[in-house]
Structure 1
């Protein structure tokens, strides 16, 4: 039996207000339950980027990655038991991907009312996700990103189709995945899809892009 995921009333309200109103939330929470051990109750991932943020990620991308883990096209031993077909059939993949996609994690602390108790404040702060600013030349990062990355990941870093959202993701995690691509330890998700771009960038350009992504996270939040 999957453990039940605790779900705060505030986040539940956000879920109901989401355009994805047809979700079976109870079923989705049940499916996501085992994932929360690593990715957190609200899908924010690990505090140091050891586990990626999955909240707000594009559903097509999430579903694609779950299938890649299941088929071991993307090798990650801790993920295999959870993505195995007996544990996560296609319909469950679609449901949990849609569920995670509609979770919003604010990048600014909320404004509390005088009557808000300590638990209310704690729960609200647990959902705030602010990625620390990465070092680098933000202007150069903007130029490089818009020239080489925006076509797939979107001009604002929110992703597009099967290409993931990058803004709001942990810098350490992004750097680890970039290194894995460059070492061919992680295959490209779509064969032939601009697979040479990373190889054309210098280490400085990559670091500057990471700095740029952390600099625009509040813009990303404001544009929701």
Structure 2
């Protein structure tokens, strides 16, 4: 498994890099033998107090594991991230192993363009520059401040809910394996998971 370790606004020493690479690979290989790569980012918390560690692990099946750890130093922050990661993997251990064994190839995926939009300020004006407004094609905003490409995978609803939890995402957009339509699962404010399926309305009206 390829493990990339990077520091953001701080230096990451070779001893810490070696520890992260060794322990992350050992922890993941206890459950999966075909993890492809992992990216770990070590950064100072806002205000310069404490350290945050973000871990993202990509399995060959297409499932992603992601967790965030915090601590007084980089080592304790990584410990926190690993504890959360292993706890989450143990919760889905049986389903993950079954899925990992059945899917030798990654889940079918298509690329979608994703954008980061600037918020409006207190005067209801978009925050950003004229150049950003031009890129967005709408001078009234919201303004596009970043863009990237993300995969939209084909999976079952239960798999999407599992991915929502494993990757600590607020939402997962996916193609429903049952009918091929776009679906969305998301975290609700009450702690439950919401599921949006336009095909159910379209099918009922048709």
Normalised by the size of structure 2, how large is the TM-score?
A: 0.28
Radius of gyration: which is bigger?
Answer: 2
Higher relative contact order (CA 8 A, sep 6+): 1
Which has more helix, going by share of residues?
1
